[in-house]
Amino acid sequence: MNELLTPAEMSRADRLTIDAGTPGIRLMERAGRAVADATAFRHVLGTRVLVLCGPGNNGGDGFVAARILAERGYAVRLALLGDRSRLSGDAALAAAAWRGATEPLDGDGVVPMLAQAGVVVDALFGAGLARTLEGEARRVVEAVDRSGRPVVAVDLPSGIDGRTGAVCGAALHAQTTVTFFRRKPGHLLMPGRAHCGTVITADIGIPDWTLREIGPALRQNCPALWLDRLPAPRLGDHKYSRGHALVLSGPALRTGAARLSAEAALRAGAGLVTLVAPEAAAAIAATHLTAVMIEAFADAAGFAALLADPRRNAVVLGPAAGVGEGTRALVAAALAGRAGLVLDADALTSFADAPETLFDRVRGRPAPVILTPHEGEFARLFPDLAERAVGDRPKTERAVAAARRSGAIVVLKGTDTVVAAPDGRAAINDNAPPDLATAGSGDVLAGIAGGLLARGLPGYEAAAAAVWLHGECGRRAGPGLIAEDLAAELKPVLADLYRRAALPPAEPPPVAIRQEGPTLPPRRLLVGSQDEDEPGGTD
Ligand SMILES: NC(=O)C1=CN([C@@H]2O[C@H](COP(=O)(O)OP(=O)(O)OC[C@H]3O[C@@H](n4cnc5c(N)ncnc54)[C@H](OP(=O)(O)O)[C@@H]3O)[C@@H](O)[C@H]2O)[C@@H](O)CC1
Ligand SMILES: [K+]
């Protein structure tokens, strides 16, 4: 269930299913029913429903939902953007089965309709949004958004690009988005995610075998991607069998970032963690650390000597390391060794003038290298792939291109962190709360990744697991968190994961929206119906 389908891939899934014998109108019927169910689930009988239909199949789903809601006793008003005679295919069939009035839709006329509506079903544009919204379409979308009415969006909030998550001129904000078969990248990538509200993925009868034909590259980041690589500690393990991570400390007055990383690496399960510090910093760090060991070095040669022991199998470099030749030399020394590496913060910025000198050393290296840039650091290493340079290219594509170029696993951080591998795999993360945007949070992430590399996870899995664990720790720590709080949250988060891994394989998840059976909304939602004369919704 964690595959993400671009609109083009989704259209292929539709086509494969139709070619295998399921008529398109049946898929549309199930899609519309799922939308009706989601609407009825949140809005009691008596709520006035306004269905806004567009000129394509997204509008067709709207006609089906309108018909089913009306059959269930809802007062439904339907308005269509464009000429009804121009509807074609399945959308025309769905429109023909709608017995109510079809009103014209424009930016002025929609305002009084909205004033009377308790809930809006947005069936204007979905996967087929092809260009920037302009004219009446845009005015309608803006009016819906201004109205503040709760919106159930069909497939995507109209105006959101399903491939990139971008706003195409204007986009409305939904309370609930009902999509079909699998989520689309635009549901997870910003700003799309912020427009979707709760996303429900409904089964409309597209079989899973279509995924084998399509081979989607994108995933939602979740434990299914890497949990089998993250076994619970076993009887007979000893600290050396769990790996030894080194974390490079900054100078005397800047040891905190690396200490955050080191403690996170230890909590993530590395058997041993050593903070390697310039001589003047070692004594200061020593006053703060207990389980994390400390070793001092004088220069790059001394640092390289500390890496010579093959049991030291992971290194984290960058947090508060300083930008310049000194850090470049330490990174070069680490790259010459055999340990897995996490390069963060200053270790990235130090190569801003000549990123190829970094990539040349990374490519072909047998042990993994994980780069963890935020957008600013990313722009320094990959200026032609930066958001501001190619704003229309989705974050996923930019991250994969960067991974291919550098030979590293790239963790492009943000609200919608993307983890990408040189072989084209990519996962979008969506469990990180905004509270994680705080000083030192990235240092903890780098440390978790280093700890997981030490435990022997491959680079992509270590990076994806680290990002997800970091998000979960943030969720558990909650509002008011500071970076110091995060590593301790790894204890309950890992305990949950190990429990989950020990359970027998889960039953397939229940279908989010029931497709068959009684068409009445759930019983408890029938009580307390609204005054018919009272416009406005219930929620
Ligand atoms: N059988 C199936 O395939 C199933 C599909 N399903 C549903 O179909 C949806 C995809 O349907 P779709 O491909 O028809 O695209 P849709 O989102 O309705 O938009 C296309 C229309 O919008 C127009 N248009 C585009 N951009 C515009 C703009 N900026 N401003 C103005 N107009 C614009 C475009 O016009 P054109 O570009 O052709 O001029 C065209 O008329 C999908 O999201 C799901 O809900 C489900 O029922 C399951 C079965
Ligand atoms: K829509």
DSSP state of 85: G
Q: Average pLDDT in the 525-537 region?
A: 29
Q: Which fold has domain 7-216?
A: Rossmann fold (3.40.50)
Q: Average pLDDT in the 492-517 region?
A: 70
**Ligand nearest to the Cα of 158, by number:** 2
For residue 21, with 0-12 CB atoms within 10 Å meaning exposed, 13-18 middle and 19 or more buried, which class applies?
Answer: exposed
**pTM for the predicted model, two decimal places:** 0.92
261 Cα: distance to centroid of ligand 2 (angstroms): 43
Q: How confident is the model at residue 209 (pLDDT cuts 50, 70, 90)?
A: very high
Q: How confident is the model at residue 521 (pLDDT cuts 50, 70, 90)?
A: very low
Backbone dihedral angles phi then psi of residue 69, each to the nearest 5 degrees? -65, -40
Is pLDDT above 70 for 141?
yes
Q: How confident is the model at residue 114 (pLDDT cuts 50, 70, 90)?
A: very high
For the ranges 296-300, 312-316, 512-516, 534-538, the lowest mean pLDDT is seen at 534-538
Is pLDDT above 90 for 234?
no
User: What's the number of CA atoms in the CB half-sphere (13 Å) around residue 417?
Assistant: 30
Q: Average pLDDT in the 351-372 region?
A: 97
Give span(s): CATH 3.40.50.10260, the chain: 7-216
Which two structure tokens, joined as six digits, stand for 154? Answer: 């069909």
- At 417 the three-state DSSP class reads coil
What is the end-to-end Cα distance of the chain in Å, rounded?
29
Spatial distance between the Cα atoms of 467 and 458, rounded to a whole number of angstroms: 14
* 105 ligand 1 Cβ < 6 A: no
Sequence-distant (≥ 6) Cβ neighbours of residue 275 within 8 angstroms? 246, 247, 249, 255, 258, 259, 262, 282, 285, 289, 292, 293, 294, 295
25 Cα: distance to centroid of ligand 1 (angstroms): 14
Q: How confident is the model at residue 380 (pLDDT cuts 50, 70, 90)?
A: very high
**Ligand nearest to the Cα of 205, by number:** 1
ipTM above 0.95, yes or no: yes
Give span(s): CATH 3.40.1190.20, the chain: 223-231+323-501
Class of domain 223-231+323-501: alpha beta
Atom of ligand 1 nearest to the CA of 130: 26
The pLDDT tens digits of the residues spanning 18-28 come to: 999 999 999 99
Which two structure tokens, joined as six digits, stand for 478? Answer: 């909650």
Residue 269, pLDDT score: 96
Q: Average pLDDT in the 274-290 region?
A: 94
CB 514 within 8 A of CB 498: no
171 Cα: distance to centroid of ligand 2 (angstroms): 10
Q: Average pLDDT in the 302-316 region?
A: 96
* CA proximity to 499, closest of 267, 221, 220, 223: 223
Angle at CA of residue 114, ends 113 and 119, nearest 5° = 115
Is pLDDT above 60 for 516?
no
Angle at CA of residue 451, ends 446 and 454, nearest 5° = 125
DSSP state of 440: T
